[in-house]
Structure 1
Amino acid sequence: MIIGWVVVAVIGALVLLSAGLMFFTLLAARYAEKLVPPIGTFVDVDGARLHFVDRGAGPVIVMVHGLAGNLRNFYALIERLSVDHRVVAVDRPGCGYSTMRSGEHPSMRAQAALIAQLIRKLHLGQPTVVGHSMGGALSLALAIDHPDCVRALALIAPLSNVERAPPNGLKILRIKSPLVQWMVAWMFSAPIGKLIHRESLKAVFAPEAAVESFDTSGGAVLGLRPWAFSAACKDMVAISREMAAIPPSYPTLTIPVSVIFGRQDAVLNHETHGEQLVAALPNGNLHVMEGGGHMILVTQPDHVADLIRQSTHHRSTSSA
């Protein structure tokens, strides 16, 4: 009898603890959204509700962010490039404020198809597509599968080949079990995430210093929401099996492809994902920035913006 009451008490305590953690996580998510609210427009495309910003006028640039990111990651480039370009930056499904009505998280190539639909729906023609990190892989898939939607690519520290191990600062996202993903997202992403968030940012920015305001200006705090954490886990797991199918098509890409890397990138190696990519492309070029890390779009935006401008005019860049 006593043992039975003890079991009931333990189960009750666990239920209360779980409910408390979930409530705290939800409060943290709402606080993150208060700090970093939507700044753009919403459009429906094939089961998705995409959030995007549309700034400036001129030649069109479409921006696709990386793993666990959102469109605010491009804030420094949007500010600079919208002076003389029309810049459209979009949240990938499950990131920022973009959602899937079906609840199913789309594969990378399915996400590329959604970006293609956005380009067509907004009548953007054939823009230059800028992709960062995993957004670079998605941009390559977009150009391969939907050539009518891409005039040129400008890829910043892109994932372009299979990575056998999770990149630095992102290992926590490699959770394969959907149940464990849900449990970590809803019970631990806020309390534990806050503890490791700073270290993760340091790892992603290394060797350069993390920008202090990146939580708000770059929208990083939105990644602590449970649904964003879960989407990032799904992207991490899927990308390892999807990535192998993309490189064989690189020789068929005849459009101009500019690849921009920091030589000291601690997340993705410029030789594997820059030099090997350019070697496989008919019309690719590589620019390697000394001292730059994975977040050169934030730490060195003037230089990166100039290189993107060159790519929109099909000029050649060289390694430095």
Structure 2
Amino acid sequence: MSSGSDRLAALMARGTAFLGCDVAIMAGAMSWISERHLVSAMSNAGGFGVIACGAMTPALLDAEIAATQALTRRPFGVNLITMHPDLTALIDVCAARGVGHVVLAGGLPPAGSIERIKASGAKLICFAPALALAKKLIRSGVDALVIEGMEAGGHIGPVSTSVLAQEMLPHIAEAVPVFVAGGIGRGEAIAAYLEMGAAGVQLGTRFVCATECVAHPHFKKAFIRASARDAVASVQIDPRLPVIPVRALRNAGGDLFTAKQREVAQALDEGRVAMAEAQLQIEHYWAGALRRAVIEGDIEHGSLMAGQSVGMVTREEPLADILAQLTAEAGEALARRAA
């Protein structure tokens, strides 16, 4: 299959050069999950790990980066949320630690953040949920983009990966490296997106059951048992509340979240809370619910954020084995097409 693996290496060349790794597969940043152990395992296996900063303080992020650097000498990135109140300080922590790639997620980068990241010498990766936004980000100096479809786990947009890839890759793939994400669970899909012009891909759900992942055994068991149809998107009860749909495995926690929205909406109606406080309550609910599931193993009342590729997660295995399987499948698919 050397022709397939050679073709795979050629199609990934731009992505691997940009990331500084062997295989242009990024591990998507998942709160509580994408910490030093999973990130270093991903980078050591030849892929590209990304720390999920989430709601961490600058001091916590500093310690997490240092701990990751102690476990791997390979490149890895840090994912920062644009609405974090300490975003500037977090960017400075990444700069001081010599982080080579910063991923900004959760909306348009605030004024000055792009310049600050690039001034540190880091490469900047942003999420682009639509073509117009992608072009705007490219004009503003972003180095690479991730286009993620609604099959993904966690916070999602309304359009599927396959549609986004068709709509956007022909127009932006030459300008910057583009990584496709959302619902990818096998190498055949990776090969297809690379042939469409992607520089690489990003997967999250597929790596949750890596041996090195710190997620609770109950959390992993839920993934192994689940099928694609179990990963459902949450519903927004009230348009005033900032409920970006979240894809997670169906459980009692989802019903509790619906009830929480009703409670907060009623408090708004009765003037007991201000809009900013109501929105904060919703955000804090998710952060706490995810931690309960991932760290404490409460899979009934916690949030089991998972993408629709969860049905392709069938066992716990070392991360290097998952990566090897994905690249073998991609190489074999390309070899079949060449033949």
TM-score normalised according to structure 2 size:
0.33
Normalised by the length of structure 1, the TM-score is: 0.34
